[in-house]
A and B are shown apart, each in its own frame.
Chain A
Amino acid sequence: MKTKYMNPYLAGVLLGLVLLMAFFFSGRGLGASGAVKSVVVAAVDVVAPEHTANSGYYSKYVGEGKSPMKAWLVFEMIGVLVGGFLSGAFSGRLKWKVEHFPGITANRRLIFAGMGGILFGFGSQLGRGCTSGSALTGMASLSVAGFVSMMAIFGTAFALAFFLRKNWI
């Protein structure tokens, strides 16, 4: 079938080269959820600095000489916004829209998107990274955590697909 998107195998090789460059230059892989964590830490630190200083989780990232927003992943994700936008502009895909299966309403799509985001955000912290940071990067560096994350994420999504089929097909 004809598609307006890049050949997936070519895209995979290019994505792999981007990841390899991250390893070669910075000695670390890609990530995504870590950048959102930095935003959450920074926001809570502005609203309630005493709370972040005393909390077991936030305190790792704040304090003297530490700035949660001056993180590798934050700058990388700003790059992702720019790169995604450039690609969308290049291929004529810039458009405000709620994308959803025609069999459901836009509101239903948005409610499920929000719920999915909450779960993914929570799980990414418990699992120490998401699909890019733990699964993809971890697999490339042969880490057990990477393979375990990949199998748990994709395995669960397959296992639950039947129950959510009305949202997608």
Chain B
Amino acid sequence: MGPLVPQEIIGADWNLFIAFVIGIGFGFVLEQAGFSSSRKLAGMFYGYDTVVLKVFFTAAITAMLGLLFFSLFGWIDLNLIYVNPTFLGSAIVGGIIMGAGFIIGGFCPGTSVCAAAIGKIDAMIFIGGIVLGIFFFAEGYPLLKDFYMSGSMGPLKVSDVFGISGGVLALIVIIVALLMFKLGELAEKRWPREEY
């Protein structure tokens, strides 16, 4: 049955409207969770507020299990789901630069747009920074291209690397997440926060 648009069960004309509706849900949940506050987001890295850890991993696990069960029930063809390709070197270095941006700027791109939507001026400046950063990358692309394209491994899945099923991998992720949630709860008791 699914995914509906790639299989033309729903016309491609609807895809952008679907994107808009899904975006509304995305933005609403991010804001309700408190991701519109940089102090809440940064709290993750100082232990006083681990909402990022809890929301991020609960969401990843929910969607992961959803895909596995949908596939099991024959509701979705996983071969038609886009899996982002792995380029190991650029993924690691890009991730390191993003991590620095996260702790320096207090947002990531999605949360900054959500925060800007409720009037956070620091988030608007952050978005201006993203625009500049992408512009610098695009203009510097000739110099960066070789590294950007290096270490190509295609749309590789972690379960294939370790030769385990998707279900076993999901179970491992769930166990690791539960341990981290426990750590997060302990940290929040150790470093109490104020409310913003």
Interface residues of A (CB under 8 A from B): 1-6, 8-9, 11-33, 36-37, 39-41, 44, 55-58, 70, 72-73, 75-88, 91, 93-101, 109-110, 112-161, 164-165, 167-169
Contacts and interface: CB of A to CB of B under 8 A. Distances in A.
A142 B169 CA distance: 8
B179 interface: no
Given A116-B102, A126-B94, A161-B45, A15 B26 contact: yes
Contacts of A168: 39, 42-43, 45-46, 106
B180 to A, nearest CB: 11
Interface string B114-133: 11111111110111111111
B63 A16 contact: yes
Contacts of A23: 2-3, 63, 66-67, 76, 81
Given A1-B195, A79-B20, A141-B84, A152 B138 contact: no
A27 B6 contact: yes
Given A84-B118, A121-B134, A146 B31 contact: no
B46 A136 contact: no
B10, B84, B117, B125 interface centre (most CB from chain A within 10 Å): B84
B121 A27 contact: no
Nearest to B45: A161
A25 B12 CA distance: 10
B120 A97 contact: yes
Interface of B is mostly: helix
Contact of B29 (A14, A91, A114, A130): A14
A74 B43 CA distance: 29
B133 A79 contact: no
A142 to B, nearest CB: 4
A146 B86 CA distance: 8
A12 B28 contact: no
Contacts of B27: 79-87
B90 A127 contact: yes
B39 A147 contact: no
B42 A57 contact: no
Contacts of B100: 116, 119, 123, 156-157, 160
B81 to A, nearest CB: 6
A137 B62 CA distance: 11
24 contacts: A1-B192, A2-B195, A8-B55, A14-B25, A16-B58, A55-B141, A79-B24, A80-B27, A84-B27, A84-B117, A113-B129, A122-B133, A123-B99, A124-B133, A131-B108, A131-B110, A134-B91, A136-B63, A141-B82, A141-B157, A145-B84, A150-B95, A155-B95, A168-B42
B191 to A, nearest CB: 8
A116 B63 CA distance: 29
B64 interface: yes
Given A56-B145, A84-B117, A110-B121, A139 B64 contact: yes
B12 to A, nearest CB: 10
A27 B95 contact: no
Given A27-B81, A120-B129, A156-B100, A80 B39 contact: no
A139 B138 CA distance: 26
Interface in B78-111: 80-88, 90-111
Nearest to B100: A119
